[in-house]
């Protein structure tokens, strides 16, 4: 049963736009994740910042979205890579790194710190890409005659 005064087209439109925005969000995060993974195979670690910058320069519409697209895209890649290292070494490497860096025997902490630091680099570079796009975008000039 539909509410009074709300046409069916508007409800359908709201649901359609909500679903489309979720798909767009996932496309940008996956695009950043896949491109940064490929870039880090042949380039230095900071190439992820270039990927996040370029994708958010190209596709982002808001500053908050640009930050979170970059953050999640890079954090997921680095967390998966940290888990891969953890499982390949049976937790020995992450345990030793935890003792060395944090003076405690926590095998989870190095992976979380890795994901957060990578996410911050990706998020801030994505935010920079959005702001550069906004600064160099077409501006409306009013000519008074």
Who's near 7: CB < 8 A, 6+ residues apart? none
Statement: residue 2 has pLDDT above 50: no
74 vs 82: CA distance, rounded Å: 12
What's the confidence (pLDDT) of residue 127?
94
What's the confidence (pLDDT) of residue 142?
55
132 vs 130: CA distance, rounded Å: 6
Average pLDDT over residues 115-138: 91
Statement: residue 35 has pLDDT above 70: yes
103 vs 96: CA distance, rounded Å: 10
104 vs 110: CA distance, rounded Å: 11
pTM score, whole prediction: 0.76
Statement: residue 11 has pLDDT above 70: no
What's the confidence (pLDDT) of residue 1?
46
Of 115, 114, 117, which Cα lies nearest the Cα of 97? 114
Of 103, 115, 29, which Cα lies nearest the Cα of 78? 115
Who's near 72: CB < 8 A, 6+ residues apart? 29, 119
Statement: residue 79 has pLDDT above 60: yes
CA atoms within 13 A on the CB side of 130: 19
By the 8 A CB rule, do 38 and 78 touch? no
pLDDT band at 54; cut points 50, 70, 90: very high
């Amino acid at each position: 049963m539909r509410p009074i005064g709300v046409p069916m087209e508007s409800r359908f439109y709201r649901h359609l736009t909500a679903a489309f925005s979720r798909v767009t969000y996932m496309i940008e995060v996956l695009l950043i994740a896949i491109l940064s993974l490929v870039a880090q195979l042949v380039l230095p670690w900071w190439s992820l910042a270039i990927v996040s910058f370029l994708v958010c320069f190209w596709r982002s519409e808001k500053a908050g979205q640009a930050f979170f697209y970059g953050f999640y895209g890079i954090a997921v890649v680095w967390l998966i890579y940290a888990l891969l290292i953890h499982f390949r070494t049976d937790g020995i490497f992450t345990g030793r790194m935890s003792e060395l860096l944090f003076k405690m025997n926590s095998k989870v902490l190095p992976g979380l710190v890795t994901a957060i630091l990578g996410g911050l680099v990706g998020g801030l570079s994505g935010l920079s890409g959005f702001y550069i796009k906004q600064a160099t975008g077409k501006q409306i000039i009013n000519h008074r005659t």
